[in-house]
Structure 1
Amino acid sequence: MTPRSGAHRPHVRPVVWHPPAFPARARRAAGDTPLPPVRLFPIVGAGPEDVALDAEGRIVTCVEDGRVLRLSPRGTGMDGGGIDGGGMDRGGMDGRDVEVVATTGGRPLGVEVDRDGTYVVCDAYRGLLRVDPDRGAVTELVAAAEGVAGKPLGICDNASIAADGTIWFSDSSSRFTLEHWKADLLEHSGTGRLIRRDPDGHTEVAVDGLHFANGVALAADESFVVVIETGAYRLTRLWLTGPRAGTVDRLVDNLPAFADNVSLGSDGLFWIAMASPRKAIVDWLAPKHPVLRKAVWALPEALQPGPADTAWVQAVTATGELVHDLQARVDGFSMVTGVREHHGVVWLGSLHGEAVAAFDVPPV
């Protein structure tokens, strides 16, 4: 990710912590399934971080220059189009297949399609937005500068919309902006938040102290909402109904990767974007004297730990049981940050590259 002009590297104040031991079995036991063949769909833009589908089956994504894009069904794999992971042209797409519906003027990340056909977009610089794709109008629902509970939004990241219009969304860090997301992971100070915006516009912090709050998803029955804590390798759950309402626990703990976004699929599973495997050096540094992580942060970016060249997703049940664990190297696509399953096809977004991707769900 390229920092905005004039951005300066901030100081970090690392917090000593003891990460859980790396899982003895990072992938499923016998019968591991590699990532099925992947189809790539060029978008003429960089960094389609998240993906969503509208009522007509069109793919919605956003890119780093602020554009909100809509991909028509033709050429998106629903008719066999696209470019497979081996580079074979299977119909492809041209500019007529990718429509620019709006521009946020910031850096849009997460995107959700609301029941009225509008999009709810999390913009790292502008905040929580509503986009009308028919008119191209962009409205601020929660301005980043105004923030919530007297604190600006540092990185408005991802959202999930309840049936009554309540929007649950994440603010990844109160310490760092998007350009310096790595600093939050190194510092591990836990300043992320899960926020609720009611239909009447009232906002409230539901859970704070999160370690880089990222993807957000509601359970099918809306009994709980989960938020990814990228820096803590877990899916944290806030119960909304029943005897545990208001309590927080873990849906999944000790993930083998830095997880990014999460979404509820049409198959009832929570699909998790596994952006990059955990780094042994990062876990080793965590309990050591903070000066070591300060030294790492001072290194040129090329020498700092970075994401691996892999495409990886997992899917778990509403009780946290692993169902799919799919990973492979894919030419032209890596660092999965967005994932959306829809009627047997899984769509992928990435913070890097200039394509969205899709594959067919394999049998379990």
Structure 2
Amino acid sequence: MTITSFTGTQLIPVNGTGPEDVVVDDDGQVYAGLDDGRIIRVAGGGNRIDTVARVAGRPLGIELYGADELLVCASDHGLLAVTIRTGEVRTLVDSVAGSRILGCNNAAVGADGTVFFSDSSQRFPIPDFRSDMIERTGTGRVFRRDPDGTVTEVAGGLQFANGVALAPDESFVVIAETTTCRLHRLWIAGDRAGQREVFAEGLSGYPDNASTGSDGLIWVAIPSPAVPALPLVQRMPAAARSLVRRLPTSLQPSPGREVGAVAFDATGGVVRRRGGTVEGFTMLTGVREQGGTLYCGSLTEGAILTTDR
């Protein structure tokens, strides 16, 4: 499918940096977490920005959770619940079976309150994502948190586990495996429950956060095209890879300026694809479709992007 350039774009400043993921409520208000720990609510097309809460750690994935709560993936501080009205923050999961959550990254919430969330790496925290991609640690995992608080690992051995999205009928979960430019499908209902298979592979860039749109499609953010130098570095001896990891970031394999958003149907087929460069906006790490509009977050920029679907 041909990549269509972004159209009808608008940048909404957020009075901060790094709204890595976004979620939109029924009133059209947009929520995001910034790199200073603030959880913000943006209303009126950016005319009003309120701080809802402040969390420990770096807020990444964000979801609506219950009548007055947000679910926040706070990197090495785990999975949090934030009460919108009061700003109260409570920890839902920060370790599993004695293993600390080092890179809580993205989540999806089922109709009954079940949460699926990713822990990107057991070796490197999120700010050091390049190191995990260089080393291909294969320590990424996905957990299921049931409404009674029980937490179970449902997928492991992933090369930087990232985006998580539920199928509209909640029969499966799509998991983004960033380093391999691949998506997995984990069946959670029916005769194939517990089975994992490739959902889509050979993506042109690195898949990041994922979400299920109001259009019934699974949208995946693509913050950068695949970097040709990365596979070369990954094949180096361990000592050489370690040397590359210690180089200044500017000398390491780094993301490109092109960004994208891809929508998949339930079979893994691509239905829509947006891509290209957007002036003043790079590292598109989160995408949310609502009512025909895409709301996009960035790990590094100071604005939320809206664009036509």
Q: Where on the TM-score scale, by shorter chain, does this alignment land: which range?
A: over 0.9
SS, match of residue 260 in structure 1: coil
Counterpart residue type for residue 300 of structure 1: P
Distance (whole Å) between structure 2 residues aligned to residue 131 and residue 36 of structure 1: 34
- Superposed displacement of residue 233, structure 1: 1.0
Which one is further off, 207-216 or 288-297?
288-297
Matched, 1:47 2:18: yes
Taking the TM superposition and a 5 Å limit, the aligned residue runs for 1:283-298 are: 283-298=231-246
Distance (whole Å) between structure 1 residues aligned to residue 183 and residue 259 of structure 2: 20
Residue of structure 1 equivalent to 2:168: 220
Taking the TM superposition and a 5 Å limit, the aligned residue runs for 1:1-364 are: 28-29=1-2, 32-72=3-43, 74=44, 76=45, 93-94=46-47, 97-143=48-94, 147-361=95-309
Residue of structure 2 equivalent to 1:85: none
- Superposed displacement of residue 288, structure 1: 4.1
Distance (whole Å) between structure 2 residues aligned to residue 125 and residue 302 of structure 1: 25
| Aligned residues of 2:68 and 2:85 also touching (Cα < 8 A) | no
Distance (whole Å) between structure 2 residues aligned to residue 36 and residue 291 of structure 1: 45
- Superposed displacement of residue 324, structure 1: 1.4
Counterpart residue type for residue 231 of structure 1: T
- Superposed displacement of residue 258, structure 1: 1.1
Counterpart residue type for residue 110 of structure 1: G
SS, match of residue 206 in structure 1: strand
Which one is further off, 284-293 or 329-338?
284-293
Counterpart residue type for residue 298 of structure 1: R
Counterpart residue type for residue 355 of structure 1: A
Distance (whole Å) between structure 2 residues aligned to residue 211 and residue 284 of structure 1: 16
TM-score, reference length from structure 2: 0.97
Distance (whole Å) between structure 1 residues aligned to residue 24 and residue 54 of structure 2: 18
Whichever of the two has the greater Rg, that structure is 1
Distance (whole Å) between structure 2 residues aligned to residue 262 and residue 218 of structure 1: 9
Distance (whole Å) between structure 2 residues aligned to residue 232 and residue 329 of structure 1: 23
SS, match of residue 164 in structure 1: coil
| Aligned residues of 1:149 and 1:205 also touching (Cα < 8 A) | no
Distance (whole Å) between structure 1 residues aligned to residue 180 and residue 141 of structure 2: 14
- Superposed displacement of residue 244, structure 1: 1.2
- Superposed displacement of residue 284, structure 1: 2.7
- Superposed displacement of residue 179, structure 1: 2.4
Segments of structure 2 that go 5 or more residues without pairing to the other structure are none
Distance (whole Å) between structure 1 residues aligned to residue 127 and residue 30 of structure 2: 26
Distance (whole Å) between structure 1 residues aligned to residue 16 and residue 294 of structure 2: 21
Deviations 1:247-303 (A, max 9, x none): 000111121111110111111111110011111111233334334422321322111
Counterpart residue type for residue 268 of structure 1: G
Counterpart residue type for residue 61 of structure 1: A
| Aligned residues of 1:55 and 1:117 also touching (Cα < 8 A) | no
- Superposed displacement of residue 178, structure 1: 2.0
Distance (whole Å) between structure 1 residues aligned to residue 259 and residue 158 of structure 2: 25
Segments of structure 1 that go 5 or more residues without pairing to the other structure are 1-27, 77-92
| Aligned residues of 1:61 and 1:70 also touching (Cα < 8 A) | yes
| Aligned residues of 2:262 and 2:274 also touching (Cα < 8 A) | yes
| Aligned residues of 1:54 and 1:117 also touching (Cα < 8 A) | no
Deviations 1:127-168 (A, max 9, x none): 11000010010000012xxx1122100111111001111110
What is the aligned-residue RMSD (CA, Å)? 1.3
| Aligned residues of 1:224 and 1:238 also touching (Cα < 8 A) | yes
Counterpart residue type for residue 272 of structure 1: V
| Aligned residues of 1:51 and 1:59 also touching (Cα < 8 A) | yes
| Aligned residues of 2:227 and 2:256 also touching (Cα < 8 A) | no
Distance (whole Å) between structure 2 residues aligned to residue 300 and residue 101 of structure 1: 36
Counterpart residue type for residue 185 of structure 1: M
Counterpart residue type for residue 35 of structure 1: F
SS, match of residue 231 in structure 1: coil
Q: Percent identity?
A: 42
- Superposed displacement of residue 225, structure 1: 0.6
